[in-house]
Chain A
Amino acid sequence: MAGDFPRGQTAIAGIATYGIGECPGHTTMEMAAKAGLLALADAGMPLSQVDGLFICLPDDVLAGLSFAEYLGLSPRFTDCNRTGGSAFLSHVATAATMLAAGYIDTALIAYGSNQRSGGGKLSTPVGSNVWEAPYRPLFPASSYALAASRHFHEFGTTRRHLAEVAVAARAWANGNPEAFATGPLTIDDVLAARMLSSPLSVKDCCLVTDGAAAIVLTRTDRARDGAKPLVPVLGAAVATWHNAISQMPDLTTTAASESGGRAYAMAGIGPSDVDVVQLYDAFTINTILFLEDLGFCPKGEGGRFVENGGIAPGGHLPVNTNGGGLSCCHPGMYGLFTIVEAVRQIRGDAANQIPGVDIALAHGNGGTLSSQATVILGSAATL
């Protein structure tokens, strides 16, 4: 059962990013607020119309309250839901159903992080639980490494396969002026990089950058007169199976297999209908797991799917066309950036524009392969 979803009844009317890469001297609030104002300007809507607020900030668990105060909003609904980096895609599910029900009229989803300028380390209030912490895994890298070790064992996936993911992300980043990490990167570079938590080297890990993003959601009938092409939300589904990696039911199958299946059913499409894919690539193994779990290749075939530039420019499926968390930006929670790039691709103004995009899939990951959220966006032609 997919669950009821108001397919196409809501649309993303505005998007923005701000401060991607390095944004010295800014607070997380300043960055998120700037992105929010830019997204509203993009939508051609006044700030006063926002009556639904969805936000995460790395340093404020009550960010929704603080953000409302900061911009002088008085939302009818405020959501500080944090399911890790998938939170913002989860926000889309909540906002879309509330908008369609008439509970709210205009939703703003925002995020900002200054983790690079602020300290240079992954900014997260989260860590290993009490059953794992005594063994000192690197959080979260070792959790993903354990999943990768199992994928290697069961399916013959190799470090070279992982490296393909990093190299593809860099190739896309090299065409995106907004991307933080650019320049040549080869398979051999990744294989020779310093090992962090085997089989993951430092080049298998996402960036540590600053960055903010925001999107504006409203009902499709209100978005039709906007300045930008209509980007309706066709499906949004969320699934959580565990938190700690030691409790993941199967280390090689994520809850994306559930969220993806439900999102496809809501949208009335399948993987073969998707023109461009944006996945939360906190680590190279993520991309392989999500390509499998979202049905772009059979389970276990993800490594071979990305071989020979399979997801790089000119490959058989365009994945993470902005450079992803591996080479575009990773401010700590990357999820919202998957939606921004998906919207740009449908609007037709992405840096690495894929011709004729009608359907884009954005997928967020939270925790340690734990919380999964899939959003399927369409063009006006899909309504």
Chain B
Amino acid sequence: MSEAAPQAQWRAALAEGRFLLQRARGSGTIFFPPRLAEPRSGDTDWEWIEASGFGTIHAVTVIHPRPPEPPRAVALVDLDEEVRLMSEVEGLPAEDIAIGLRVRARIGERDGAPILLFQAA
């Protein structure tokens, strides 16, 4: 069993360029965001694994700020490990980010902190 404070451990790993997920040893279920125990079972016997980084756009919305700020997309990404998270897709016009698009994770930086982003795979 890992030490307590999984959120801090996850952030520390991200800062080192590693995108981690948790996997319950008993059920094999992978989960995110980081928690003390597997959701539903409450099982605290889990391990960190490296995310594949690959996923698919599950849902998307394009936010239209008042001009001149350009529209920007916010998406929910289904990772191949069957966990869902919110993120952004870089390198594509907002209107081209469609449900079903294959994407790959990249660790970027924003406001001086590491941030998980995605690009078209």
Contact = CB atoms under 8 A, between A and B. Distances in A.
B12 interface: no
Interface in B103-118: 110, 113, 115
B63 A246 contact: no
A195 B64 contact: yes
Interface size class of B (residues with CB under 8 A): 20 to 34
Interface stretch (A127-135, A178-186, A257-265): A127-135
A317 interface: no
Contact of B76 (A136, A196, A245): A245
Contacts of A198: 61-64
Contacts of B113: 134
Interface in A113-172: 131-132, 134-138, 142, 145-150, 153
Nearest to B62: A198
B63 A134 contact: no
Interface string B68-94: 000010101000000011111000000
B86 A150 contact: no
A253 interface: no
A134 B59 contact: no
A138 B61 CA distance: 10
Given A132-B86, A137-B86, A150-B58, A246 B99 contact: no
A149 B62 CA distance: 10
B61 A150 contact: no
A68 to B, nearest CB: 37
Given A135-B74, A246-B86, A150 B59 contact: yes
A197 B59 contact: no
Interface residues of A, number: 27
B61 A251 contact: no
B99 A137 contact: no
A131 B99 contact: no
Given A137-B63, A145-B61, A150-B99, A131 B33 contact: yes
A195 B62 CA distance: 9
Nearest to B11: A130
B7 to A, nearest CB: 8
A200 B63 CA distance: 9
B51 interface: no
A136 B88 CA distance: 10
Nearest to A133: B86
A247 interface: yes
B37 interface: no
A197 B76 contact: no
B40 to A, nearest CB: 11
Contacts of A142: 61, 63, 74
A146 B99 contact: no
B21 interface: no
B60 interface: yes
Interface in B24-69: 33, 58-64
Contacts of A194: 64
Contacts of A251: 58-59, 76
Nearest to A152: B99
Contacts of B87: 135
A133 to B, nearest CB: 9
Given A134-B115, A149-B99, A246 B84 contact: yes
Contacts of B86: 131-132, 135, 137, 244-246
Contacts of A246: 76, 84-86
Nearest to B64: A195
Contacts of A153: 59, 99
Contact of B59 (A146, A195, A200): A146
Contacts of B63: 136-138, 142, 196-198
Contacts of B88: 135
- Most chain-B Cβ atoms within 10 A of its Cβ — which of A136, A149, A150? A149
Contacts of B62: 195, 197-198
Interface of A: 131-132, 134-138, 142, 145-150, 153, 194-200, 244-247, 251
30 contacts: A131-B86, A132-B86, A134-B113, A135-B86, A135-B88, A136-B72, A136-B74, A137-B63, A137-B74, A137-B86, A142-B63, A145-B61, A146-B61, A146-B74, A148-B61, A149-B59, A150-B58, A150-B59, A194-B64, A195-B62, A195-B64, A196-B63, A196-B64, A197-B61, A197-B64, A197-B74, A198-B64, A245-B76, A246-B85, A251-B76
Given A137-B61, A153-B99, 6 more contacts: A134-B110, A135-B87, A137-B74, A149-B59, A198-B64, A244-B86
